[in-house]
Each structure stands twice: as structure tokens, then as C-alpha cells.
Amino acid sequence: MAVSRNRVNPDPPSTAGTSGRRYGGVDSEERQRQRRARLIEAALAVFGDQGYHQSTVRDVCKQAQLTSRYFYESFEGMEDLFRSVYAEVSRDLMQATVMALARSEPEPDKLAEAALRAFFEFIRDDPRRARVALIDALNVGGEMQTAFDKAQEDFALLIQGFMTQMFPRLPEAGLNHHMLAQGLVGSNTRIATKWVADRCRAPLEDVLRNTFSLFQAAILYARDVEARLPPVATRQSEPA
């Protein structure tokens, strides 16, 4: 096992002799799943309070009220645990975003505002998630960069889907739906990261207004581009 930087973790114990017996009607696989969930929940609290690089296996186990034996039955080390915490935060954010979009009016401006509000409220309502997703995620290193890039790509694909549906003719003007979506996600992430680093001191409505202005500008530009394109030729029926 690799030793985590700036801290020493206990050696993983042997798992020989692990029993598959049932206790209280719960089998060993379900008990392990429950312990894993407790460790992830505990890690979110520890990382959110101390930061990844100042946290240890002992800190997480103490928060979860479990021994290191149970830590190593589910995770290879702290980076593995952090990726699991980050994945759960990203899933929760995606779910909150999709739900906000489902409740919104099907207009580009309304959809953008709903998604942005869901994102910034998600951050504001639990600063621990913000630190994991926007601060430490970029400083863990290793395979975490790949996980971060994939989460960003997932949100870009979400935006791209709506953009393709609402502005299907942009490629005729040399514009790339995916590239535009990536740019919007990148600007949104940058604003959110600075907001979190500043302990969310700026009022949420101010942050939302400024971020939305970038999306609104893109929407207005897309509308203008499509309005200036030549009409789609109507294919006339050929004589029989």
C-alpha cells in the first residue's frame, strides 16, 4: 500500500477467515455495503472540515466509528476513498440538476437559470461538498484528475443535448455544440471555485446573475446565428 503524503496510515489487516454469516437477519455483503456507506459519509465530513491532505485513515475511521480493518475491506487507501466520495457528490449534483430541469419551462433561458440555481444552491447548502468537488478534487492527483474530467464531461454532454435540440442549425455556421457546452461548464466551474474559495461571501443571487449572463449571451448569440441562416430548402414532391 502506498503511504499517503504527509501522513502515515495503518497497515491493512488480513481478511483471512472473514465469515459470511448473517447477523440480525443481514448477510455479510449487506453489512459491508453499510460500512462502506458509513465510511463515505464520514469521509465527506472529515474532508470537508480538514481537507484531503490533512486527513488520515484514522480520522475517517474515528468519524465512522469503525476500525481500519473495515476501511481496507472497501478501499485501497485515501485516494480511493476520495474518488468514491467525489463520485457520490457528483451523482447527487447531477440528480439535483436533472430534477431542476424537469421542473423548468422548456425554454433555453429558463432551463439555464434552473440548472445554475440548482448547482449554486447545492454548493451553498453543504460547504463540505463544495470543498470536495471544487477545491480538493484538483489537488489530489493520481486518477482523480480523470474522475474530475469525466464529471465535467457529463455536465457538458447534458448541456450539449439541450443545445442540439434547441439550436440544431449552429453547425451550419461553423459552431460546435460540444465545444460551446464545454466552455459554459468551464466558466461555471471557475466562478463556483472562486466563490467557494472566498467562503461563499458573495450573495448567491449575485453569483447566479453574473454566471447566468454568460449563458444568456450564448443563448442570444445562438438565436441570432440561426435567424441569419438561409431558410431550410423545402423538398418538392417529384411528379409520379
CB 86 within 8 A of CB 40: no
Closest of 225, 212, 236, 234 to residue 108, by C-alpha: 212
Spatial distance between the Cα atoms of 81 and 72, rounded to a whole number of angstroms: 10
Q: What is the pLDDT of residues 38-58, one digit of tens each?
A: 999 999 999 999 999 999 999
Residues of the chain above pLDDT 70, percent: 86
The answer to whether residue 147 scores a pLDDT higher than 80 is: yes
Residue with cell 449571451: 217
Residues of the chain above pLDDT 90, percent: 80
The answer to whether residue 178 scores a pLDDT higher than 90 is: yes
C-alpha cell at 42: 464520514
142 band by pLDDT with thresholds 50, 70 and 90: confident
The answer to whether residue 60 scores a pLDDT higher than 60 is: yes
Name the H helices within the chain.
Answer: 28-50, 57-64, 68-74, 78-103, 108-125, 127-130, 144-166, 177-197, 204-228
Q: What is the pLDDT of residues 152-174, one digit of tens each?
A: 999 999 999 999 999 999 999 99
Spatial distance between the Cα atoms of 140 and 117, rounded to a whole number of angstroms: 28
